[in-house]
Amino acid sequence: MRLLLIEADPPLESAIRHHVSCRWPDAEIRLWPPITHGPIPPEFLAQGYEAVLLTERWPGGEGMEWLRDLANRPGFAPVIFLAGECDSRTVEAANGWGACAVAGTRKIDHRALVEAIETAASRQRRAMANWRVSSQAIDSRRFGEAVIPGYRRARLLARGSVSQLYIAESEKAGALVALKVTPSHRDESGIDQSFERFLQEYEIAERIQHPNIVRLHELGIADDHAYLAMEYFPLGDLRRRMKAGLSVLEALDFAGQLARVLHAIHRAGIVHRDLKPGNVMLRSEGQLALIDFGLAKQLALAVDLTDTGLIFGTPHYMSPEQGHGQTLDARSDIYSLGVLLYEMLTGQKPYTADNPMTVLYMHRNAPMPQLPAEQCVLQPLLLRLLAKLPEERFADAADAAEAIDAARLQWLDQSATA
C-alpha cells in the first residue's frame, strides 16, 4: 500500500500512520506538507499511489479548495477527504467535488478509514490497469524517439542540441522528475559517450550524498537513448531567483551554501567546471541544489568524456585558466563562485562583451570589478574569490565558506551601526 498524505499537523499525521500500519505494516506513506511545499504541481497525477489522503484545513489553506483541483484532474488518484467532523454537509460537499470517500479525524474510526483506503486502492488499481494499455498511456511514455516505461511525459522543459529535458511523472518515485534524454553515441572504441556522461553524473551524486546536490532517481537505456531521471525543481534556477532581486544577506547565504557543496565535491576529487546560475536550482526558498555534472572532471580521470566544443563551459563564469585551456583544479570553481557572488550582489556579470573571446580575455586581463560603495565591506572577499592567479585565491572551498560567513557578520555589524 502506497499513500500520499497532504497534511500539516504532526499529531494527526502520526495518528493516520498508526491506523494505516495496523492494517498494512509495510505501507509507505509519503507526506506532502502544504505549508512548506505549496500547491501540488499541475502536471502531477499521483499515479504511483493507491490513494491520496487530503485533510480539511491547515493554517492558510483549505483542503476543500485543493479537492476541487485534484479530484478533477483527469487520471488523478482517488482522493480521500479527511474532515474534522463528518457531518452531512461536509460529506455532501466533498463528494460533490469528487472525493472517493470522506473520513473523520476528530475521532478516527479505524474501520471506516481502512475501508475508505481499500475502496480507493481498488478503484485506482483498476483505473491504472485500464490506463496502461490505452493509446494515451502509450503516447505519454514517448520522449522524442524513445519510449521509456514507468514514466509519464508531462511536458518538454528544454531542448538542447543533443539532449532534451522533460518534466515527467515517475510511478516508482511517486513524484515529478526532470528526465534528461539523449541519443546513444558510440565512439571508435565502442564506448557509449552519452551513457558514460550520465553515468558520471549519477555516480558523483550517489557517492557524495550532500544536501546541496541534486537527487538522482534512475539511469537507464531505452530505444538506443540514454536517460537520467533526477529531482525536479518547481521554483526554477538561481537566475530566475536573481531576476526577482536578492538582498546582500541572501546572496551571502547562497554563496556560503555553494562554497560548502563545492568543498564536498572537491574532497571527492572532482572539479565541477560549469558553475553558473542555470546549474544552481532552488529546492525551497532558502536552499540550493547543484546540478549538471556533465562537464565535471575527476582529477585522476584519464579519459575526458567531454565532447569537443563543450569543454569550455560558459565564458561569463569561467576562470582565466579554464578560458585558456590550462590545467584546472578546485580553485577554478572558486573563481566561478566569485563571479556568481558578484552577480548576486549587483545584478550584473563582472565582465561582458559581444564576443565570447573578449569575455575570456577580460577574465584574465581586465581590472577587478568593484562593488557599489555601500557594499565595499565585501570587496576584500570578492578580491580573493576573483583573483586572476589561482594561488592568490582561497586555498580551498572550505576557506572560502569561512570567509563568506565572516563577511556576513561584517555586513550585519555595519548594518547595525549604520
Residue ranges and CATH numbers for the domains of the chain are 2-132 (3.40.50.2300), 142-231 (3.30.200.20), 238-417 (1.10.510.10)
Q: Is the confidence at residue 143, as pLDDT, over 50? A: yes
Contact present, 1 and 121 (Cβ < 8 Å): yes
What was the pLDDT predicted at 85? 85
Residue 294 confidence (pLDDT)? 58
- pLDDT at 349 > cutoff 80: yes
Q: What confidence score (pLDDT) does residue 190 get?
A: 52
Give yes or no for a contact between 12 and 58, defined as CB atoms under 8 angstroms apart: no
Q: Please determine, for residue 78, whether its predicted confidence score (pLDDT) is greater than 90.
A: yes
Who has greater pLDDT, 212 or 193? 212
Length of the chain: 418
DSSP structure string for 69-100: HHTTSTTPPPEEEEESS--HHHHHHHHHTT-S
- Residues 243 and 223: their CA atoms lie apart, in Å, by 39
d(CA 280, CA 345): 16
d(CA 143, CA 155): 9
Average pLDDT over residues 73-80: 95
With pLDDT > 70 as the criterion, what percentage of the chain qualifies? 92
| pLDDT category of residue 418 using cuts at 50, 70 and 90 | low
Indicate whether 226 pLDDT > 90: no
pLDDT reported for residue 194: 65
The reported pTM is 0.83
For the chain, percent of residues with pLDDT exceeding 90? 67
Question: pLDDT tens digit string along 42-69?
Answer: 999 999 999 999 999 999 899 999 999 9
Q: What is the pLDDT of residue 112?
A: 93
Q: Which candidate in 237, 253, 274, 333 is catalytic? A: 274
- Mean pLDDT of all residues in 342-353: 94
pLDDT-derived band at 312, boundaries 50, 70, 90: very low
Give the SS3 label for residue 191. coil
Whether residue 301 has pLDDT greater than 60: no
| pLDDT exceeds 60 at position 304 | no
* Bridge partners for 207 per DSSP: none
Q: Given pLDDT bands bounded at 50, 70 and 90, which one contains residue 110?
A: very high
Residue 191 has pLDDT above 60, yes or no: no
Is 274 considered catalytic here? yes
Is the separation of the CB atoms in 7 and 61 below 8 Å?
no
C-alpha triplet 395, 401, 407: angle, nearest 5°: 110
Residue 76: which pLDDT band, with cuts at 50, 70 and 90?
very high
Give phi and psi for 14, each to the nearest 5: -60, -40
Distance CA 126, CA 130 (A): 6
Q: Is 216 helix (H, G, I), strand (E, B) or coil?
A: strand
Say whether pLDDT at 309 is over 90: no
Spatial separation of the C-alpha atoms in residues 96 and 298, rounded to whole Å: 58
pLDDT at 217 over 50: yes
Q: In the Cβ-directed half-sphere of 264, how many Cα atoms lie within 13 Å?
A: 17
pLDDT of residue 297: 57
